[in-house]
Amino acid sequence: MSGAGPAALAVERIAHAIHRRGLSHGRTGNLAVRDGEHILLTPTGVSLGEVEAGALSVLDAEGRRLDGPRPTKEAFLHLAVLRTRPELNAVVHTHSPYAAALSCLDGLDPEAPLPPLTAYFAMRVGALRLLPYLAPGDASGTALVEEAAAASHALLLRNHGPVVAGSDLDGALDALEELEHTAQLFFLTAGHRTAPLSAERVAALAQPPIQPPLEGRTPAA
């Protein structure tokens, strides 16, 4: 571990945080992060609570293993998202219970499976896309993942769980936790009338807030 670089250490730290916060169980969940020209992934068959920075899978951009143990069988998900969104550098995939439960519901809108119940969901998750069912590790769904990732950095795999990308692993985890929390609110409010944010309110959150001028200071023109 002492010889691991910053990217590998971040994978270990975030993997342990996901496990500690109950967002993964058993040996489920996986992470990926860009490290220069390479992509680091959590290995297959390892609990996120036991991931070690010095024992990660190292792949090239095409998915060829360069070093380390065999990667998670969900590597195609991570590679598809990172290939589609070059401005993003990290992907987190979990089977967190509320988001996974949401993915099992019938009648969900593929383009908006979860309403914007809070401002933080709108800001950190934004558009959420629901993908059709894919068997774990089924890389034949790569094109579907790429198409959805082009529209949103947050995806929900039907009967499976969330896949969320960010500029770094901390940002991806923040968004994933917000998605999980909003899914929990969705179930807590089931059977009650809710008031999701309007499209206008969601759009306003994308604008910087107007700051009042400091007392005694003339506002800039």
Q: Which residues are catalytic, by number? A: 74, 120
d(CA 14, CA 170): 7
CB atoms within 10 A of CB 54: 12
Characterize the bridge pairing of strands 90-93 and 57-59. Answer: unpaired
Q: CA torsion sign, 178 to 92 to 42 to 58?
A: negative
Q: Which amino acid is at 65?
A: R
d(CA 199, CA 71): 40
Do residues 176 and 92 lie in contact, with contact meaning Cβ atoms separated by under 8 Å?
yes
Q: Which helix (H) or strand (E) holds 150?
A: helix 142-151
Do residues 161 and 103 lie in contact, with contact meaning Cβ atoms separated by under 8 Å?
yes
